[in-house]
Structure 1
Amino acid sequence: MQQEKHPDYHPVVFRDRAAGYAFLTRSTAQSEQTIEWDDGQTYPVIDVEISSESHPFYTGKARTVDTEGRVARFERRYGAGDAGEAT
């Protein structure tokens, strides 16, 4: 691997402020802010708006769309399609 062609790949802490969750991983992201991690080392920290800890899909709080219920409600409201039929 040629050193001058690739960005610096180093440990970084990503912090989800909404969930109060942080995780250490490796990334090319840069930050001026730092945080002391559990191992006593200081790492750059990146604040994110949403992560798997706060995203509704991963937390199980996502709403599922009930398409069958919507069709039934439409048919109750506007009829079952017999208004446009010619005899």
Structure 2
Amino acid sequence: MKPGIHPEYHPVVFRDASADFAFLTRSTATSDATVLWTDGNAYPVVDVEVSSASHPFYTGRSRVLDTAGRVEKFRRRYGQTTPEETR
């Protein structure tokens, strides 16, 4: 690697406040805020909105999308066309 062109790679804590979940990893992300980790060291902390602890795919709490309602809303807004009208 060329010296002087790469960002600093250091330990960082990523925290998902909505799920009360945090993990320590290495990253180039930086933050002015710090948190005291279980090993007694202070690490920069980056707050994230979604993690594996809160994402519906990983938690099994998926949301059902109302696709039929969206189609009806589109047809009301732009008019309903039948296949015969498009010819």
- The normalised TM-score by structure 2 is 0.71
Counterpart of 1:45 in structure 2 is 45
Structure 1 distance, partners of 2:36, 2:3, is: 28
**RMSD of the TM alignment (CA)?**
1.7
Which runs of 5 or more structure 2 residues have no equivalent in the other structure? 69-83
Structure 2 counterparts to residues 1-87 of structure 1, below 5 A: 1-63=1-63
Structure 2 distance, partners of 1:61, 1:19, is: 13
**SS, match of residue 58 in structure 2:** helix
Query: Deviations 1:20-70 (Å, cap 9, x if unpaired)?
Result: 0000000000100001100011100001111010001110001467x9xx7
Which runs of 5 or more structure 1 residues have no equivalent in the other structure? 71-83
Structure 1 distance, partners of 2:23, 2:46, is: 10
Give the structure with higher Rg (CA). Answer: 1
Identity of aligned residues (%): 62
Count of matched residue positions in the alignment of Structure 1 and Structure 2: 68
Structure 1 distance, partners of 2:46, 2:53, is: 15
